[in-house]
């Protein structure tokens, strides 16, 4: 397994996203759906649980890398994203993201990375933040910034909501029936790059009545050609207010890396 394939799959979710996102949860400790404050006529429903515990497989493709691995994901809303990637039961990568830090252990290379989002933003050439990672992993609608009026149209059984933010165009498809996000596309025409995140296989996770996407497919394009893709397929998702642990400690003797290697 590429020692950072799992982490890069997560980072791919935010690789074209700029600017802060809005938190639309109704509050911690719940597992019901949360209506979003949106323009008149827009029906958006976001998750509002405190904890998520999921597991499944991730398939990652980047240049000459084409690999699959098992993953375990834990989320505490607005506080922590914990991810472990393994093959044949042996953990290779563990990552912990908090609102102000990114830490990664590479057990195969006996090394670790510790940095912040400012450094990752510079590394990826695009701003990355914890709220963006959280919203994209959970499949939550992201409201337009204050002062920006989105364009709202109907496309079949979906609502299409789009707005510009700096040099980017953000387009989101919402289910007219459930209000859940079906697709997010972020494009920057000047740089000829785009990111499309598609959510599918909606099921009710354990602990909630709201539909949750058990499959998330990410495709990033640069100059009109596909450069990165990642598919996260969940086999199990549990949500609610039950406490989860986020164990993370650097083994003795591991070397600190100055960057996350691709």
Q: Compute the chain's Rg from CA coordinates.
A: 18
Q: Is the pLDDT of residue 153 over 50?
A: yes
DSSP state of 205: -
pTM of the model: 0.81
At residue 260, the pLDDT reads: 60
Q: How far apart are CA 46 and CA 33, in angstroms?
A: 6
Assign residue 82 a region (left: φ > 0; alpha: ψ between -120 and 50; beta: otherwise): beta
At residue 112, the pLDDT reads: 92
Pick 211 or 18 by higher pLDDT. Answer: 211
In the chain, what are the domain boundaries?
5-253
DSSP states along 53-103:
EEEEEEEEEETTEEEEEEEEEEEETTTEEEEEEEETTEEEEEEEEETTEEE
Indicate the burial class of 27 (C-beta count within 10 angstroms; 0-12, 13-18, 19 or more). Answer: exposed
pLDDT in tens, 114-137: 988 876 665 554 556 888 889 889
Q: Does domain 5-253 have CATH number 2.50.20.10?
A: yes
Q: Beta partners for 166?
A: none
Q: How far apart are CA 67 and CA 45, in angstroms?
A: 33
Per the CB < 8 A criterion, the answer to whether 226 and 220 are in contact is yes
- Residue the block writes with tokens 């959280």: 134
Of 24-33, 95-104, 122-131, 197-206, the poorest mean pLDDT is in 24-33
Using alpha carbons, select from 125, 144, 95 the residue that is nearest to residue 246: 95
Q: Which of 148-157, 221-230, 251-260 has the highest mean pLDDT?
A: 148-157
**Please, what is the average pLDDT of the chain?**
80
At residue 252, the pLDDT reads: 94
At residue 121, the pLDDT reads: 62
With a pLDDT cut of 90, the percent of the chain lying above it is: 43
pLDDT in tens, 80-109: 999 998 887 888 889 999 999 989 898 888
At residue 145, the pLDDT reads: 83
DSSP state of 113: E
At residue 27, the pLDDT reads: 31
Indicate the burial class of 216 (C-beta count within 10 angstroms; 0-12, 13-18, 19 or more). Answer: buried
At residue 74, the pLDDT reads: 96
At residue 14, the pLDDT reads: 41
DSSP state of 178: T
pLDDT in tens, 38-81: 555 788 999 999 999 999 998 988 778 888 889 999 999 999 99
Three-state secondary structure call for residue 232: strand
């Amino acid at each position: 397994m590429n020692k950072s394939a799992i982490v890069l799959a997560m980072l791919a979710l935010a690789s074209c996203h700029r600017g802060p996102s809005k938190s639309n949860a109704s509050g911690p400790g719940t597992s019901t759906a949360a209506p979003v404050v949106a323009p008149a006529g827009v029906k958006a429903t976001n998750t509002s649980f405190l904890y998520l515990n999921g597991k499944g497989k991730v398939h990652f493709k980047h240049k000459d890398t084409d690999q699959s691995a098992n993953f375990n994901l834990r989320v505490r809303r607005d506080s922590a994203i914990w991810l472990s990637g393994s093959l044949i039961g042996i953990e290779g990568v563990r990552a912990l993201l908090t609102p102000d830090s990114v830490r990664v252990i590479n057990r195969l290379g006996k090394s670790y990375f510790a940095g912040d989002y400012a450094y990752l933003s510079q590394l990826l050439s695009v701003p990355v933040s914890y709220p963006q990672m959280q919203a994209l992993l959970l499949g939550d609608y992201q409201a337009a910034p204050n002062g920006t009026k989105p364009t709202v149209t109907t496309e079949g059984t979906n609502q299409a909501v789009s707005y510009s933010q700096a040099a980017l165009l953000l387009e989101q498809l919402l289910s007219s029936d459930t209000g859940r996000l079906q697709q997010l596309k972020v494009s920057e025409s000047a740089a000829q790059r785009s990111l499309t995140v598609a959510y599918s296989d909606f099921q009710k996770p354990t602990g909630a009545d709201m539909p949750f996407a058990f499959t998330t497919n990410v495709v990033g394009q640069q100059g009109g050609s596909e450069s990165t893709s990642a598919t996260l397929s969940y086999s199990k998702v549990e949500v609610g207010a039950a406490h989860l642990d986020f164990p993370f400690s650097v083994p003795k003797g591991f070397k600190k890396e100055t960057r996350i290697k691709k």
